Amino acid sequence: LILASALIWTNRENILAHFMSRQLRVPVAIDSLTLNKASAKITDLSIGNFPHSYSPTSFTAQFLQIKTKLQKILSNPLIIDEIAIENMTICIEFYDLDGDDSNWNRILHDRRKIKKSSRDYLIKTLTLKNLTVEVIRADGSIKIYPTISHMEFHDISNETGFPVDEIEKAIFDLMMKNIFQ
């Protein structure tokens, strides 16, 4: 038991990356994972892309921290005090000219089919710092949008959902601003 625990602890980054890779169906790499009673910290998270993509990655983050306590994870609702993600790049790669088939559509395809969990959750604060969006069209042309320095969202739950609309709006506003400049 002690040997198995030590083996798991020394390979925690690889185990988490393997689990994420199986769920997302793309390669995942994690440089380091630090766990303590109040938080989990990941450095240099890289989510790969599908074969024959122009970009090798679909998401990178230099730093990700989740702050919560074990009793809050085990409670219902699951409560996460804060998620902070810094220096991240999201690469959206389109595989067709219509824009219907993209790397993120493929990554999230099976996730949308999964029945919603009966367990409630609450993320009190989600902070995104230095978000860069890169769009690659089917012809291989690349557009990198200016970095969004800071975005903060509060009280994300299974009832409100992840604030994808707000993030998309911020990215769209940035794109429009860039076009007019």
pLDDT computed for residue 115 by the predictor: 46
pLDDT computed for residue 98 by the predictor: 85
pLDDT computed for residue 158 by the predictor: 80
Residues 6+ apart with CB under 8 A from 49: 26, 55, 56, 57, 58, 91, 93, 103
pLDDT computed for residue 111 by the predictor: 55
Helix axes 2-10, 12-24, angle to 10 degrees: 70
Burial 129-141 (b: 16+ CB within 10 A, else e): bbbebbbbbeeee
If one counts every other C-beta atom within 10 angstroms of the C-beta of residue 146, the result is 12
- As beta bridge partners, residue 61 has 45, 88
**Could you report the average pLDDT of every consecutive run of 10 residues in the chain (181 residues)?**
89 94 94 94 96 94 95 88 96 89 84 59 93 92 90 86 70 67 62
How far apart, in whole angstroms, are the C-alpha atoms of residue 148 and residue 168? 12
Angle at the Cα of 59 (from 180 to 69), degrees rounded to 5?
A: 115
pLDDT computed for residue 97 by the predictor: 87
How far apart, in whole angstroms, are the C-alpha atoms of residue 107 and residue 26? 8
- As beta bridge partners, residue 125 has 82, 154
pLDDT computed for residue 173 by the predictor: 72
How far apart, in whole angstroms, are the C-alpha atoms of residue 55 and residue 132? 14
pTM exceeds 0.95: no
pLDDT computed for residue 73 by the predictor: 86
If one counts every other C-beta atom within 10 angstroms of the C-beta of residue 164, the result is 8
DSSP structure class, residue 92:
E
